[in-house]
C-alpha cells in the first residue's frame, strides 16, 4: 500500500469570536492562518462562548500526479495530539483554491470548501493521541485522486461546521493533531492507497485488455508464465487453434481481378 505525504503547504485556518455562527462558518476569508506550527492543540474547533462563535479547520494538499488508475481504497492518516473530541470529517476543497502541493494555502481559501462533496464519513472514534487516526476516504475522493494532480482536502468538525448547526451556548469541541511541518516525520499526515489487482491482459475472446480504463496489465518476462498469450502474438496459449474456446471467424475473401 503506497503512501503519499501531505505537502508542507498545509495550513490551520481560524475565524475566532465572530458575532454570529454564519460569520464564523460561511465567510470567504479566514481571520487567522497558521502554516508554520509543528503541532495544533486545537487545530479543529467548533465553539460558542458568550454569543461569540469560533471555527477552526485544517487545509492540505497531496500530490496525486503519479496516480493514473483509480485506487480501490485510500485512508487519510492523522496523528493525534490532544483528545477533547473527534467527530471530524474530510471534505473537498475546490481545485481553484490557491493552496496546492506547490503553493501555500492562503486565508482566502477558507471559503473554498465544497460542503456538498464530503471525502469521508464522520470519524467519531476515540481520538488517538499516540498514533494515527485512520479516516477512510470515499469514492468521491478516489475519483479526485485519479482526475487531478492534487487532491485538496479540509478536515473540519462534523456536527456543527459540516452540518451547519449552530452550537449551543457554551459548547466547545477541539481536536489536536500534527501537521506536515511536525518535527518528527513519524507524526506527519499522509494518505495510504491501494491500486486494483492486475487483470488478464488477453481475454478468451481475443480482446486485449492492456489499455482498458482502470485495468492494470499483467506483464510477462521471457521466463514468466505465458498462458494468456495466443500463438499469433508469438507464443502458444489458450487461444491457439487446438483447445481454444471460441470458434474462428470464417468469411469469404474478396475477389481479386
pLDDT of residue 224: 45
Higher pLDDT, 195 or 248: 195
Each residue's pLDDT tens digit, 178-232: 999 999 999 999 999 999 976 655 555 656 555 445 445 444 444 444 455 454 5
- Average pLDDT over the chain reads 86
Residue 197: DSSP 8-state: P
Pair 178, 38: CB distance under 8 Å: yes
Average pLDDT of the segment spanning 109-135:
97
Cα separation, 182 vs 119, in Å, equals 24
Residues 6+ apart with CB under 8 A from 168: 48
Q: What is the pLDDT of residue 8?
A: 98
100 Cα distance to chain centroid: 14
- In this structure, of 71-85, 88-102, 165-179, 227-241, the range with the lowest mean pLDDT score is 227-241
| Residue boundaries of the structural domains of the chain | 3-194, 197-247
Amino acid at each position: 500500500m503506497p503512501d503519499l505525504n501531505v505537502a508542507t503547504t498545509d495550513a490551520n485556518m481560524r475565524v475566532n469570536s465572530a458575532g454570529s455562527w454564519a460569520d464564523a462558518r460561511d465567510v470567504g476569508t479566514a481571520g487567522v492562518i497558521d502554516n508554520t506550527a509543528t503541532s495544533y492543540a486545537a487545530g479543529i474547533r467548533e465553539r460558542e462562548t458568550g454569543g461569540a462563535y469560533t471555527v477552526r479547520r485544517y487545509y492540505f494538499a497531496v500530490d496525486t500526479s503519479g496516480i493514473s488508475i483509480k485506487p480501490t481504497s485510500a485512508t487519510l492518516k492523522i496523528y493525534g495530539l490532544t483528545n477533547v473530541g473527534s467527530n471530524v470529517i474530510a471534505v473537498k476543497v475546490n481545485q481553484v483554491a490557491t493552496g496546492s502541493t506547490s503553493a501555500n494555502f492562503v486565508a482566502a481559501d477558507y471559503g473554498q470548501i465544497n460542503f456538498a462533496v464530503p471525502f469521508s464519513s464522520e470519524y467519531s472514534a476515540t481520538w488517538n493521541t499516540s498514533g494515527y487516526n485512520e479516516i477512510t476516504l470515499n469514492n468521491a475522493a478516489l475519483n479526485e485522486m485519479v482526475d487531478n494532480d492534487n487532491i485538496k482536502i479540509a478536515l473540519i468538525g462534523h456536527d456543527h461546521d459540516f452540518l451547519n448547526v449552530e452550537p449551543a451556548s457554551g459548547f466547545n469541541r477541539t481536536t489536536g493533531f500534527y501537521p506536515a511541518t511536525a518535527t518528527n516525520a513519524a507524526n506527519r499526515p499522509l494518505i495510504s492507497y491501494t491500486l486494483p489487482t492486475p487483470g488478464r491482459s488477453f481475454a478468451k475472446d481475443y480482446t486485449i485488455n492492456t489499455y482498458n480504463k482502470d485495468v492494470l496489465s499483467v506483464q510477462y518476462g521471457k521466463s514468466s508464465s505465458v498462458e494468456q498469450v495466443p500463438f499469433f502474438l508469438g507464443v502458444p496459449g489458450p487461444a491457439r487453434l487446438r483447445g481454444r474456446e471460441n470458434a474462428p471467424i470464417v468469411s469469404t475473401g474478396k475477389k481479386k481481378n
